[in-house]
Structure 1
Amino acid sequence: MKIRKVLVTGSSGFIGFHLCTRLLADGWEVLGVDAMTDYYDVRLKERRQEILMQNAGFRCLNDRIETQGLLKEAMEKFRPDAVIHLAAQAGVRHSIENPESYVEANLIGTFRLLEAIRAFPPAHCLMASTSSVYGANTAMPFTETQKTDTPMSFYAATKKANEAMAHSYAHLYGLPVTMFRFFTVYGPWGRPDMAPFKFTKAILEDRPIDIYNHGDMTRDFTYVTDLADSIVRLIEAVPMRPAAAADVPVGDSLSTVAPFRVVNIGNSKSVRLIDFIAAIETATGRLAIRNYLDMQPGDVPATWADASLLHRLTGDRPQTSVQNGVALFVQWYRDYFGV
């Protein structure tokens, strides 16, 4: 089988690391692009990249995706069969405190990527969106065909903008694009700014954990390797521009005017935050000291994915239970930090 090539932006990030690991295991040649920014401890990113570099099929450019000409030059030289765009400034609350970084990475950076794939088109471009685009929607589970016009944070707004930008390029230039909306991803090598990492760290250090909205929150927690598996399977599900609107299957988010589709990637279960904390307590063997607080600005009380479209396109869907996924994360945390 011919070795295929893929360009992955955000390759040293949490999801990017797991995705590249899976792609390399499947025999892909991977060119990663990562800015190694200091939004959180760079040493974690450096260690992920060191592990990836041990595979001869991986090489990396360490630069910002918004750098003029960077991605276009990389596409011209590497000529990947697929592009997977994960690089972004993440974090709901950080987008309220420092919105300009989201304009640079999420809007300008994505524009640079779209221009690069327009100049050197791959067979398929897959781009990360987020469940945060569902915003104030209350009808659950969330389906890809729901309106997403009420973002609750600037982060969500930039991701909604990415979807609109990508659709326009798909329509104008015939570029096949799949946007995947992921739901509360967790697991080994996770980001220190996210709740699973912060809760585990605090519990093991006998410090209080902050629980917002007084614990009245639910999330569709998705284990990171399940997410990576789903992304890899979606590479082969290339959207095609339909001949007519009537050709779009019921329940499919396929655009009527472009080779463009949006796909949820979630565990299809809405888990109470309190139950997720209980799973961490079981895995650590310690009880949390709980500090209940009001809801934070930009946050939403619940998320829940309808992943039936993902299943129809790939034949699979995420299914790792919270209990198993949390146990694997806590074991990694103990091993990595020696606690």
Structure 2
Amino acid sequence: MSQKTVLVTGSSGFIGYHLCRRLLADGFRVVGVDNLSDYYSVQLKQDRQEMLEQYPDFSVINRSIEEPGLMTELFAAHEPAYVVHLAAQAGVRYSIENPRSYLESNITGTFEILEAARAHPPRHMLLASTSSAFGANTQMPYQETQRADHQMSFYAATKKATENMAHSYAHLFDLPVTMFRFFTVYGPWGRPDMALFKFTKAILEGKPIDVYNFGDMQRDFTFVTDLVEAIRLLMEVIPERPANGVVPEGDSLSPVAPHRVVNIGNSESVRLTAFIEAIEAATGRKADQNLMPIQAGDVPATWADAALLNRLTGYSPQTSVPEGVARFVSWYREYYHTVPS
């Protein structure tokens, strides 16, 4: 096992790209896996990947994690000390149209990674989940110790299933696992299917934006570099099976396995209207809003209690929405060669 090797799935994705850059800057050797799926712009993924390939300590395999035996081969060849599993079919709404892609990528893909770790155990596995796993819960802010039984989209259901799958492997094979639940991540190089990207594009093109639930939505917007900082710190916080099943109060550590769930959020629930105002300020243009009812599978609000993250790492995300949105808009203008009017 190489103490300095990290295997990152979804390395050419939005979060994966930022995490890989951080790990490479910290002196790690990074092995990426990404199938460059066409769920959104393949060119955007290729551009991210080309930037990573400029680092001598980065290598990438452009294949699918659900390919039988591939992950076991990679674990055997590279012996990663850390594995950060970010590859997934994302998107709440697309899971209604194409649920099979979520089954294959999220469930089968995660199974292949767990089997690989069983055969070649890393020091620590960190797997991405989602705030959508909290489902129909209405008690906020969301705490990791709350039950999460009522997922409202197939996407959320597959991610909650991966938490349970990983727990069983952690229990049976003593594999240290940290699951992190992301809360509406945004920032430069973001996904075109996310609200910030769609809103910015439409506003700059003078087109209307679709605002769901008539604008009565709240999200815990988390800037991508804050998220990456949290993941980097959590890599060194390796869960241990608790002695006698005793778990400290407020900790989501399993009583029977080295398995923990950690929220990564900004600990602030921001109204969608305020988010749009931040985009208007950054673009210098007013949005033409097309108010619409809430979409199937969506939740009206999310809000993270990130106290456990702070207790484990001493870190709390810092970037305000106006600052983060301005940084995204600046990147968008540069990448797409748009100029202020």
Aligned to 1:145: 145
Q: Is the counterpart of residue 182 in structure 1 residue 191 in structure 2?
A: no
SS at match of 1:287: coil
Q: By how many angstroms is 1:199 displaced?
A: 0.2
What are the superposed Cα offsets for residues 74-118 of structure 1, whole Å, 9 maximum, x if unpaired? 000100110000000000000000000000000000000000000
Query: What is the aligned length?
Result: 337
Maintained 8 Å contact 1:3/1:27: no
What are the superposed Cα offsets for residues 228-247 of structure 1, whole Å, 9 maximum, x if unpaired? 1100100000000001233x
SS at match of 2:16: helix
Maintained 8 Å contact 2:7/2:30: yes
Q: Is the counterpart of residue 193 in structure 1 residue 170 in structure 2?
A: no
SS at match of 1:74: helix
Q: Is the counterpart of residue 202 in structure 1 residue 202 in structure 2?
A: yes
| Runs (5+) with no aligned partner, structure 2 | none
Aligned to 2:280: 281
Aligned to 2:289: 290
Maintained 8 Å contact 2:178/2:239: yes
Quickly say closer, same or farther: Cα 1:25–1:142, change in 2 above 3 A: same
Distance 1:55 1:295 in 2: 43
Aligned to 1:325: 324
Aligned to 1:42: 42
Maintained 8 Å contact 1:253/1:263: yes
Q: By how many angstroms is 1:69 displaced?
A: 1.0
SS at match of 1:244: helix
Distance 2:283 2:74 in 1: 44
Distance 1:42 1:225 in 2: 22
Q: By how many angstroms is 1:3 displaced?
A: 6.5
Distance 1:244 1:48 in 2: 46
Aligned to 1:22: 22
| Runs (5+) with no aligned partner, structure 1 | none
4+ runs deviating over 2 angstroms: none
5 Å-filtered alignment, 1:243-262, equals: 243-246=243-246, 248-262=247-261
**AA in 1 matched with 2:276:** I
5 Å-filtered alignment, 1:130-141, equals: 130-141=130-141
SS at match of 1:6: strand
Distance 2:245 2:170 in 1: 16
Percent of matched pairs sharing the same residue:
67
TM-score, normalised to structure 1, is 0.99
Distance 1:149 1:113 in 2: 24
Aligned-pair Cα RMSD in Å: 0.7
**AA in 2 matched with 1:220:** D
TM-score, normalised to structure 2, is 0.98
Distance 2:140 2:79 in 1: 41
Aligned to 1:301: 300
Distance 2:219 2:255 in 1: 31
Distance 2:44 2:230 in 1: 24
Q: Is the counterpart of residue 128 in structure 1 residue 98 in structure 2?
A: no
Maintained 8 Å contact 1:185/1:221: yes
Distance 1:21 1:244 in 2: 40
Maintained 8 Å contact 1:3/1:29: no
What are the superposed Cα offsets for residues 208-242 of structure 1, whole Å, 9 maximum, x if unpaired? 00000000010000000100110010000000000
SS at match of 2:233: helix
SS at match of 1:282: helix
What are the superposed Cα offsets for residues 159-218 of structure 1, whole Å, 9 maximum, x if unpaired? 000000000000000000000000000000000000000000000000000000000010
Maintained 8 Å contact 1:226/1:318: yes
